[in-house]
Amino acid sequence: MSETTITVCNTCRRVAAGAPETEAPWPGERMAEALAAVDLPEGVRLREASCFSACSRGCVVALSGGTDHWTYVLGNLDPAADAARVVTAAVAYGKSADGVVPWNEAPAILRTRTITRVPPQE
């Protein structure tokens, strides 16, 4: 299993692509807190970043695994329901050779919430 990074947008203002919220704590902050509360398996790390320019699809996270791996961007996430599912997706991602998780092995959240998949740099 390769090292997998979950990067969470901590400035998203929408939950599951609903209307933007107008008061902090922002959904992105709540998503970051929910992910930080999950006991991450070995080989999975969490980091935060601000705005992936997918604001209308918030909450948003990315799964990455190095320059030879595809990167997935997932959206329409709910901090209250999806943190553990994102970690499950990260584990499946980490088991893949190049970041592409076969469809029949992909957790539902990867099949239903992927906004885009970006090719490796190398």
Residues that bind ligand FES (CB under 6 A): 9, 11-12, 28, 51-55, 58, 60
Specify the residue, 75 or 94, whose C-beta has the smaller distance to ligand FES: 75
Please check whether residue 41 is in contact with residue 6, taking contact to mean a CB–CB distance below 8 angstroms.
no
CB of 62 to ligand FES, least distance (A): 10
Burial string for 59-69 (b: 16+ CB within 10 Å, else e) reads: bbbbbbbeeeb
Specify the residue, 21 or 84, whose C-beta has the smaller distance to ligand FES: 21
Which of the 8 DSSP states describes residue 38? S
CB of 31 to ligand FES, least distance (A): 9
Tell me how far apart the alpha carbons of residues 94 and 20 are, in angstroms, rounded to a whole number: 32
CB of 39 to ligand FES, least distance (A): 25
Specify the residue, 52 or 72, whose C-beta has the smaller distance to ligand FES: 52
Specify the residue, 29 or 96, whose C-beta has the smaller distance to ligand FES: 29
Q: Residue 96 corresponds to which tokens in the numbers above?
A: 């893949």
Report the run of H or E that residue 13 belongs to, with start and end: none
